[in-house]
């Protein structure tokens, strides 16, 4: 079964726009779980422009599904996640000023760095996923670095799904997914997945372990409501 992890960064962005605690990030996360989400994802950035450090601690206390924390493994991030010990940490190569993730790791150039980071995380009992482009060589070297999983960066798939058609869009992702399976790694996917393109991706890569979805899901919830939206996303990955 492919699991749905709901990224709640956008809930925190909305809250931070006015200050206070409306919407309540923790309550929203608990509601996502109640409505069928299999996990909760957050990406705390150094400037705390959405998820704040205290959110991470507050969520850890109450979540009953898998907790996935994304981020660049700077010292403050590593300190946070080794204290929290979520089920999974997803390593992304983002610089502090990036609005959102826009590429995967070059696992060749950063091999030694990733080996050390992954070893520390796994030593703390944390499953580690490495965010990569749909490139089988990058997948293979993530495995060599010791990663438990890779997360395929799916923005190119989402873009090409509309511009070039589903069959062309998904081809490199199927190749990369097969390499992950060949290497004995788990497989996640995320970025710009939506109700438009998610079902086809799952059909072509049925062994997907997890999809992490935030922006599109929260946008859909403005029209459909959070409970129905989560239900519709779950239908896409059955």
Domains plus CATH for the chain? 3-236 (3.20.20.70)
Region of 109 please: left (phi>0), alpha (psi -120 to 50) or beta.
alpha
Instruction: Give the residue ranges of the chain where pLDDT is below 70.
Output: 96-99
Query: Which pLDDT value is given to residue 96?
Result: 67
Give strand pairing partners of 187.
150
Query: Which pLDDT value is given to residue 191?
Result: 96
Query: Which pLDDT value is given to residue 98?
Result: 62
Indicate whether this model's pTM tops 0.75. yes
Query: Which pLDDT value is given to residue 229?
Result: 98
Query: Which pLDDT value is given to residue 102?
Result: 72
> Alpha helices of 97-214 — where are they, by DSSP H?
111-123, 136-144, 155-163, 166-182, 198-204
Which residues are tagged catalytic? 43, 70, 191
Query: Which pLDDT value is given to residue 99?
Result: 62
Instruction: Give the alpha-carbon dihedral of 51, 215, 85, 38, to 10 degrees.
Output: 140
Query: Which pLDDT value is given to residue 35?
Result: 98
């Amino acid at each position: 079964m492919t699991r749905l992890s709901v990224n709640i960064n956008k809930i925190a962005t909305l809250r931070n726009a006015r200050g206070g605690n409306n919407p309540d990030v923790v309550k929203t996360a608990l509601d996502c779980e109640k409505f069928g989400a299999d996990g909760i994802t957050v990406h705390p950035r150094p400037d705390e422009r959405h998820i704040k450090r205290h959110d991470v601690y507050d969520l850890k206390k109450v979540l009953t599904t898998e907790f996935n924390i994304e981020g660049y493994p700077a010292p403050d991030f590593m300190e946070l996640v080794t204290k929290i010990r979520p089920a999974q940490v997803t390593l992304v190569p983002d610089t502090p000023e990036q609005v959102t993730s826009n590429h995967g790791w070059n696992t060749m150039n950063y091999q030694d760095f990733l080996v050390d980071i992954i070893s520390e995380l796994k030593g703390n009992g944390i499953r580690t996923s490495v965010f990569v482009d749909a490139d089988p060589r990058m997948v293979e070297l993530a495995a060599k670095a010791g990663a438990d999983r890779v997360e395929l960066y799916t923005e190119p798939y989402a873009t090409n799904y509309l511009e070039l058609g589903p069959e062309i869009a998904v081809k490199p992702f199927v190749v990369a997914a097969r390499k992950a399976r060949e290497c004995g790694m788990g497989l996640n996917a995320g970025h710009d997945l939506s109700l438009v393109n998610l079902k086809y991706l799952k059909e072509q890569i049925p062994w997907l372990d997890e999809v992490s979805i935030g922006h599109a899901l929260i946008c859909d919830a403005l029209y459909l409501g959070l409970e129905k939206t989560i239900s519709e996303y779950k239908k896409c990955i059955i």
